[in-house]
Amino acid sequence: MTPLFPALSDDPSSRPALRFGERSLTYAELAAAAGAVAGRVRGAGRVAVWATPSLETAVGVVGVLLAGAAAVPLNPKSGDKELGHILSDSAPALVLAAPGAELPAPLRRLRRIDVDAGSGSDVRGGTGASAGAVDEEEPALVVYTSGTTGPPKGAVIPRRAIATTLDALADAWQWTEQDVLVHGLPLFHVHGLVLGVLGPLRRGGSVRHLGRFDTQGVTRELSSGATMLFGVPTMYHRIAEALPADPVLAKALAGARLLVSGSAALPVHDHERIAAATGRRVVERYGMTETLMNTAVRADGEARAGTVGVPLPGVELRLVEDDGSVVDALDGESVGEIQVRGPNLFTEYLNRPDATAAAFTADGWFRTGDVAVRDPDGYVRIVGRKATDLIKSGGYKIGAGEIENALLEHPAVREAAVTGEPDADLGERIVAWVVPADPESPPREGELADHVAGRLAPHKRPRVVRYLDALPRNDMGKIMKRALPS
């Protein structure tokens, strides 16, 4: 197999590779900076990366990959409990961080390497850019992803899956070294890191990261040479909201080659508002941490609102009913769980053979838990999700059980249940149903939000708290979430 980043091997050019705010690196500079990281982490096994939205994160991850090691990207807003779990589960040999970044206590026990992302280094100073061949089945990333219950699981993503998914997207989107991608996604998940950073680098193109998403940044970059935009539906919702009063944004979007949404369903209303204001249709692609990308609306296909397009090259996709029978109909109404097979899939959940086994059928199909229909021309429409205890908020997957456990650790909470409610901005918002330990002095809403944000992560905090005298339970004592007052 070719190296993950052909543009970094041989004779890297002075073409732009990465830009974060005012700071940027050419391919030659990136080869030197990431090569230097590679030289220091070679043989390290798993390497934690303090994944702030910065040049250092991109250089650090590329360096780890050049060295043939595996990167474990950490959300820099992780709370104590979540971070503790990820560190004990993944047992990284060391941590990479930007110089001066303050790391929380559990990370201070690890050996730290500051990533020097300074430009202008001597290309030959790097020792790792042309590292020897690494087996494509070797882990490249361990990305933590929430399930319905318990702490997040580490999805082990091999190098083969990254190369496969990025090349399939290149085919679907005619994505080349001429493309300049703009986005403001976090770098500790697949969307922002694999598609948004490793994607442009595999093509030999470039990425401009906004630091944090806002419509002004999108306007600025798309008006000055950027060709593609990646975002979650919340970002496109905010764009749709801003468009009526922002003709410059409309013009910038109209000039883009490709606008791509993913991580959750893009509401048809937002899709149509953007199309009406810009004349451009957003294309959707469907993926998962465990599978990377499965389907996409192709650049040469019809960008139909409400669909995630067709299976990518190399991806086998089928719909399966609850009784295991395969749904063959392409009729836009026969519903089944999406199961996928192909070289885009992860290897396993780290240290969780039980969960890995449960995720696959006997004949090797991965059960996504997403429920869909297929149109006569094969376009996939996602219509729901099997597990009600998984919430997608702002494009983040969040397990209800994880938040319930955190809430129950608050002394003023006796019982807790967590659900997702429709939200125009976030897709779904997290709602906590709480039975206070003392009904006379229930915990304040903000206190519970801070408690969850501090233990898990801010995006997992409840946006609404509702107080009850008791949770509805069945005869077995199990909480009946469907019986919660709507």
Give the nearest distance from C-beta 167 to ligand AMP in angstroms.
19
C-beta separation of 482 from 473 below 8 A: no
Cα separation, 308 vs 293, whole angstroms: 11
C-beta separation of 284 from 260 below 8 A: yes
Binding of ligand MCA at residue 203 (CB under 6 A)? Answer: no
By the 10 Å C-beta count (0-12 exposed, 13-18 middle, 19+ buried), 401 is classed as: middle
308 binds, among ligand MCA, ligand AMP, none (CB under 5 to 8 A by kind): ligand AMP
Give the nearest distance from C-beta 281 to ligand AMP in angstroms.
14
Give the nearest distance from C-beta 191 to ligand AMP in angstroms.
7
Element containing residue 381 per DSSP (H, E): strand 380-385
385 binds, among ligand MCA, ligand AMP, none (CB under 5 to 8 A by kind): ligand AMP
Tokens of 52: 């702030």
Binding of ligand AMP at residue 308 (CB under 6 A)? Answer: yes
Site for ligand MCA in 49-78 (CB under 6 A): 77
Among 52, 90, 227, 289, binds ligand AMP (CB under 6 A): 289
C-beta separation of 402 from 387 below 8 A: no
Which residue stretch of 8-16, 357-365, 401-409, 450-458 sits at the interface with ligand MCA (rule: CB under 6 A)? 450-458
What φ, ψ does residue 136 adopt, rounded to 5°?
-70, -15
Binding of ligand AMP at residue 368 (CB under 6 A)? Answer: yes
Q: Between residues 141 and 288, which has the closer beta carbon with respect to ligand AMP?
A: 288
Binding of ligand AMP at residue 288 (CB under 6 A)? Answer: yes
Binding of ligand MCA at residue 192 (CB under 6 A)? Answer: yes
Placement of tokens 């001429």 in the chain:
178
Binding of ligand MCA at residue 461 (CB under 6 A)? Answer: yes
Among 63, 126, 151, 186, binds ligand MCA (CB under 6 A): 186
Give the nearest distance from C-beta 417 to ligand MCA in angstroms.
20
Give the nearest distance from C-beta 455 to ligand MCA in angstroms.
11
Cα separation, 451 vs 454, whole angstroms: 5
Binding of ligand AMP at residue 283 (CB under 6 A)? Answer: no
Q: CA angle at residue 387 from 461 to 308, to 5 degrees? A: 95
Q: Between residues 52 and 419, which has the closer beta carbon with respect to ligand MCA?
A: 52
Binding of ligand AMP at residue 286 (CB under 6 A)? Answer: yes
Which residue stretch of 17-25, 64-72, 167-175, 284-292 sits at the interface with ligand AMP (rule: CB under 6 A)? 284-292
Tokens of 165: 């998914």
The 8-class DSSP code of residue 62 comes to H
Cα separation, 397 vs 321, whole angstroms: 24
Give the nearest distance from C-beta 112 to ligand MCA in angstroms.
23
Q: Between residues 77 and 367, which has the closer beta carbon with respect to ligand MCA?
A: 77
* Helices within 243-308 (DSSP H only): 247-254, 268-278
Cα separation, 70 vs 139, whole angstroms: 6
Among 79, 217, 231, 262, binds ligand AMP (CB under 6 A): 262
The 8-class DSSP code of residue 350 comes to T
Binding of ligand MCA at residue 235 (CB under 6 A)? Answer: yes
Site for ligand MCA in 374-433 (CB under 6 A): 394-396
Binding of ligand AMP at residue 265 (CB under 6 A)? Answer: yes
Give the nearest distance from C-beta 146 to ligand AMP in angstroms.
7
Binding of ligand MCA at residue 458 (CB under 6 A)? Answer: yes
CB neighbour list of residue 410: distance below 8 Å, 6 or more residues apart: 443, 447, 448, 451
405 binds, among ligand AMP, ligand MCA, none (CB under 5 to 8 A by kind): none
Binding of ligand AMP at residue 160 (CB under 6 A)? Answer: no
Give the nearest distance from C-beta 293 to ligand MCA in angstroms.
7
Q: Between residues 26 and 234, which has the closer beta carbon with respect to ligand AMP?
A: 234
Cα separation, 143 vs 71, whole angstroms: 9
Binding of ligand MCA at residue 4 (CB under 6 A)? Answer: no
Q: Which residues are registered as beta bridge partners of 235? A: none
Cα separation, 74 vs 89, whole angstroms: 13
* Helices within 211-361 (DSSP H only): 215-222, 233-242, 247-254, 268-278, 353-359
182 binds, among ligand MCA, ligand AMP, none (CB under 5 to 8 A by kind): none
How much of the chain is in helix, strand and coil states, percent to nearest 5?
Answer: 30, 30, 40
Q: Between residues 299 and 479, which has the closer beta carbon with respect to ligand AMP?
A: 299
Cα separation, 298 vs 307, whole angstroms: 11
CA atoms within 13 A on the CB side of 115: 32
**Torsion-angle region of residue 292: left (phi > 0), alpha (psi -120 to 50) or beta?**
left
The residues that touch ligand AMP, with contacts defined as CB under 6 A, are: 145, 190, 262-265, 284, 286-289, 308, 368, 370, 382, 385, 392, 397
The residues that touch ligand MCA, with contacts defined as CB under 6 A, are: 77, 185-186, 189-192, 213, 232, 234-235, 262-263, 287-289, 394-396, 449-450, 453, 458-459, 461
